[in-house]
Amino acid sequence: MVVGATGGSRLAEHAVYPGTFDPITPGHIDIIERARHLFARVTVLVAINAEKHPASAPSERGTRLRRELPANWDNVSVTTWAGLTVAFCRDHGANVIIRGVRNRSDFRHESQLAAMNEVIGITTLLLPARPWMAAVSSTVLRGLDTRAVRE
């Protein structure tokens, strides 16, 4: 689903896929893989968001994410950012934010953010999770890792 679509054979030149990626899930990799075919450049933005209480530092998450991506994905870069995603987009010439949605709750939340971003002039592309990946979230995986450490 596209919220505020742009025209042309590609949706835009440069898109940003933000997230905490703590940990990285197969769903994250799938969204990146799909986005890299839609845009000339995709920047995966590892967010610095203390409210989410990430288990590792942004630089560690960025390094892990880079290792997960195939070397031949040369139109995909990974960087960290502490500010608003729209500020990164403005500073780096990106005009689309990519967000993955797994369910209705994600859709409602992301649609509200997309509407605000559109007012600022940044389009949001909502990519639905593939059905077999929709139940997996970073929060669930963190919970599994914590239980495994206790046992």
Q: Does 53 qualify as catalytic in the annotation?
A: no
CA triplet 25, 34, 27: central angle to 5 degrees? 15
Q: Which of 28, 36, 61, 99 is catalytic?
A: 28
How far apart CA 140 and CA 33 sit, in angstroms, is 22
Q: Which of 66, 90, 102, 130 is catalytic?
A: 102
Residue 74 φ/ψ, nearest 5 degrees: -75, -10
Q: Does 102 qualify as catalytic in the annotation?
A: yes
How far apart CA 28 and CA 76 sit, in angstroms, is 13
Q: Which of 90, 92, 130, 137 is catalytic?
A: 137
Q: Does 28 qualify as catalytic in the annotation?
A: yes
Q: Which of 10, 52, 108, 109 is catalytic?
A: 52
Q: Does 52 qualify as catalytic in the annotation?
A: yes
Asked if residue 53 lies in contact with residue 13, where contact means CB atoms within 8 angstroms, the answer is no
CA triplet 52, 80, 10: central angle to 5 degrees? 105
Catalytic positions, written as ranges: 28, 52, 102, 137
